[in-house]
Amino acid sequence: MYEYEVTTAARNWRLEGVKTPSPSDVVTDVFASDVLTTEELRQRLSKPVWRSLQATMERGAAVDPAIADTVALAMKTWAMEKGATHYTHWFQPLTGLTAEKHESFVMPTSDGTAISQFSGKELIQGEPDASSFPSGGLRATFEARGYTAWDPTSPAFIMRHGNGATLCIPTAFASWTGEALDHKTPLLRSMETLHSASMKALGLFGINDVTKVSSTVGAEQEYFLIDEEFFYRRPDLMLCGRTLFGARPPRGQELEDHYFGSIPERILTFMTDAEHQLYALGIPIKTRHNEVAPGQYEVAPIFEQSNVAADHQQLVMQVLRNTARKYGLVCLLHEKPFAGINGSGKHVNWSVATDTGLNLLEPGDTPQTNMLFLFFCAAVIKAVDEHQDLLRTCVASASNDHRLGANEAPPAIMSIFLGDELTEIFERIVSGKGTASRKAGLLGLGSPVLPPLPRHAGDRNRTSPFAFTGNKFEFRAVGSSQSVSFPITVLNVIVAEAILDLAGKIEAKTKKKVAFDAALVDVLKDVYSHHGRIVFNGDGYSSKWHKEAEKRGLLSLPTAVDAIERLMDTKNTKLFSKANVLTDRELEARQEVMFDQYFKTVNIEGETTEWMARTQILPGALSFLREVSGINIPSRAVDRTASSLATTIDSLSDALERLGAANAELGGDDVHAKSRHMRDNVLPAMNDVRVAADALERIVAHDHWPLPGYREMLFVK
């Protein structure tokens, strides 16, 4: 009865009067129509104001307070023309989600009427009541409030809803003492770090026409769609975003008929709608397709400068979630909504580009660009090998643990897939063969000595957590629900450190009159002989690799708790503070928040498991047992059913007692101890409950089973 009402409520909730895309909308007209683009802004500002703002946007100069009012007025006018009634400072707290607090443009006047107002002060700085955002203790010692600061490098945009629209201003979120309380601030700082390190390296290569180097990111998003009818009948999906129970149906993804299959009508309508909204937000969505699991899909944009890409990625998740509801669907972004079925990741494609249009990870046509490429590639190899722990940590969460290490996702061991051709080039450099014809040309590249560098190598290794894919690296361990900001920050910082180190080594050699190309070859040789162990082109899922990785001394951090623990290692605090990206306190705050989220997530799952098992599954199974035992006809079927029911119900009950005991305590006072308790006691107890419950799902009569099963959820489209 209760279930029925919930479902009805969910089903009857519909947006009305919402603009859905019509086939006559021209995509190019729609694109960025809800974005305050630089062009739009330029047209609305006087030349001097525009120039001042441009200096901020392109070169990171501080915002001139004198122009703030003018810019704010232009923004407000544009937003109100677009139908906006409110504005918000839009930011990325450490929850990994986005936050917004809307303020109306309306300002009452003394004569009882109202005017619209939005001042420069309101544009530049906001003060959300932020005391409930996680801060890892950063705010506690000083000042409870935090403030948001306008990020002029990411464009403002309009978010629409049924009855209007809101002007969203991307902002950074910090404490009054200047400590970063969000994911954007360190990302912006890390871009600066990468920029200056790369500039130094480019200088060594004699490239002097570059003024800005940025990392670029294109993030592929995997997600599930299920009918909301089932979602609201599953407390685990509602509260935890994943199923805590569910026997595998006779058919899962074995037939491999879903991947790249034709997209069902209803799903395609949903996708078109979501894409239309994303286009309006200026998000260059490019591809869509069915993923491996039934009910699983993927969407990917064209890459952008990484700060903008990170903002856009948050919007992609938000639009997918909101739009699904219009079609009676729920979008699951969880890394592992269904056990035994493929999980969802977010492949973060990452590269480094100059404002002159050079992709530094793209093998080029000339020996010079090829040397540049090998240099940056070597920096990535060194960075990944030296900071395996950080790459594992920046994707660590309770939900991603179900995916990493399982046999269908990148393992929890970091390694790089380079492809055979590129690997061979590095191996030849190490063995000295690659430099044989150094006289004939720089590095001998383009000569018969070395094969031409692979361009867009065809090799599609899917099992590597970190793969070179022709002109970029693809970090595949990132979880589908997480913010990409911290992973990008880590990549920027570790690669910047390696670039500086390698550049310093080359410089030291050239100062001693070693020719530049010889110095470069020496450094490449040095990098690959020390860090080549991180390169693995084989099957990352195989148990052979796990053994091999151990022999190579690679780090294996199977659980998020192991990984998060490493964040405050001296190596890491030094790295982040030297790069001016995170102070020790800021880094520690992130560690605290990660642990906090880990333990709370598992705690909620543990209690939800107990609750569902006690109030739905056990009663369902007992009522079927009562029915079967009530059959007063001698029958082997009755005896067998009753006996296997009774045994499995007892196992469930025993496991429930253990889970109840584990749930009853928190395992300590600090988040470290609590997280370990969750991992070591709660998760195994949950698992035992699940094993018994899933066994019951296979023997209890369907009409006694209280939950929709995997069959319904995955195959109703």
Residues in contact with Mg ion by CB under 5 A are: 220, 347
DSSP of 86-98: EEEEEB-BTTSS-
Contact 34, 160 (CB under 8 A): yes
Give the Å distances, CA to CA, from 34 to 29, 37, 119, 281. 11, 9, 21, 5
Residue (468 or 595) nearer to Mg ion, CB:
468
The least distance separating Mg ion from the CB of residue 256, rounded to whole angstroms, comes to 18
Pairing of strands 296-301, 329-332: unpaired
- 562: contact with ligand ADP by CB under 6 A: no
Question: Of Mg ion, ligand ADP, none, which one does residue 391 interact with (CB within 5 to 8 Å by kind)?
Answer: none
User: Residue 67 or residue 353: which is nearer to ligand ADP going by CB?
Assistant: 353
Direct distance between the N- and C-terminal alpha carbons of the chain, in angstroms, rounded to an integer: 25
Which of 351, 388, 400, 435 is in the footprint of ligand ADP by CB under 6 A? 351
216 binds ligand ADP (CB under 6 A): yes
524 binds ligand ADP, rule: CB under 6 A: no
Q: Which is nearer to Mg ion, 278 or 348 (CB)?
A: 348
Q: How far is residue 672's CA from residue 389's CA, in Å, rounded to a whole number?
A: 18
Task: Tell me if 356 contacts ligand ADP by CB under 6 A.
Answer: no
Sign of CA dihedral 563, 565, 569, 572: positive
Which member of 253, 349, 461, 537 binds ligand ADP (CB under 6 A)? 349
Residue 218 binds ligand ADP, judged by CB under 6 A: yes
Per-residue mark of binding to ligand ADP, 287-326 (x: CB under 6 A): x------------xxxx-----------------------
Taking the least distance from each CB to ligand ADP, the nearer of 218 and 540 is 218
When CB distances are held under 5 to 8 angstroms depending on the partner's kind, the choice from ligand ADP, Mg ion, none that residue 705 binds is: none
How far from 494 is each of 194, 374, 391, 423, 693, CA to CA, in Å? 9, 17, 9, 21, 45
The answer to whether 471 contacts ligand ADP (rule: CB under 6 A) is: yes
| C-alpha pair distances (Å), 550 with each of 330, 395, 466, 547 | 41, 21, 18, 5
In sign, the C-alpha dihedral spanning 55, 58, 64, 65 is positive
Residue 409 Cβ, how far from Mg ion at the closest point, in Å?
A: 13
User: Given the complex with Mg ion, which of 345 and 706 has the nearer CB atom?
Assistant: 345
Q: In the bound complex, what is the minimum distance in angstroms from residue 107's beta carbon to ligand ADP?
A: 43
Give the span between the Cα atoms of 636 and 586, in whole angstroms.
Answer: 67
Residue 280 DSSP SS3: helix
CA distance 672 to 667: 9
Q: Per CB under 6 A, which region of 86-94, 260-268, 342-350, 698-706 contacts ligand ADP? A: 342-350
Q: Any alpha helices (H) in 566-682, and if so which ranges?
A: 570-578, 584-612, 618-629, 636-663, 671-677
The nearest distance, CB 459 to Mg ion, in angstroms, is 13
- Residue 309 Cβ, how far from ligand ADP at the closest point, in Å? 8
How many residues form the binding site for ligand ADP (CB under 6 A)?
16
User: Could you tell me the smallest distance in angstroms from the CB atom of residue 151 to ligand ADP?
Assistant: 20
The residue type found at 355 is D
Looking at beta carbons only, is 216 or 307 nearer to ligand ADP? 216
Q: Of 220 and 596, which has the nearer Cβ to Mg ion?
A: 220
From the CB of 306, what's the least distance to ligand ADP, in Å? Answer: 8
Q: Is 567 exposed, middle or buried (0-12, 13-18, 19+ CB in 10 A)?
A: buried
Q: Which residue lies nearer to ligand ADP by CB, 359 or 480?
A: 359
In terms of CB distance, is 220 or 565 closer to Mg ion? 220
Nearest to 349 by CA among 375, 313, 401: 313
- Give the Å distances, CA to CA, from 714 to 119, 237, 295, 296: 50, 13, 5, 9
| Residue 136 binding target from Mg ion, ligand ADP, none, CB below 5 to 8 Å by type | none
Query: Whose CA is closest to 188, among 367, 310, 285?
Result: 310
Complex with ligand ADP: residue 291 or 389, whichever CB lies closer: 291
Q: How far apart are CA 8 and CA 424, in angstroms?
A: 61
Q: Which does 709 bind (CB under 5 to 8 A by kind): Mg ion, ligand ADP, none?
A: none
Give whichever of 220 and 562 is closer to Mg ion, judged by the CB atom.
220
String of contacts with ligand ADP for each residue 259-288, x by CB under 6 A: ----------------------------x-
Q: Is 472 in the site for ligand ADP (CB under 6 A)?
A: yes
> Which residue's Cβ lies closest to ligand ADP?
218
Handedness of CA 299, 304, 310, 316 (dihedral sign): negative
**Which of the residues 72 through 111 are near ligand ADP (CB under 6 A)?**
none
Q: Sign of the C-alpha dihedral, residues 142, 146, 152, 154?
A: positive
| Nearest distance, CB of residue 12 and ligand ADP, angstroms | 38
* β pairing state of 466-468 and 416-417: parallel
User: Which residues here bind ligand ADP, judged by CB under 6 A?
Assistant: 216-218, 220, 287, 300-303, 347, 349-351, 359, 471-472
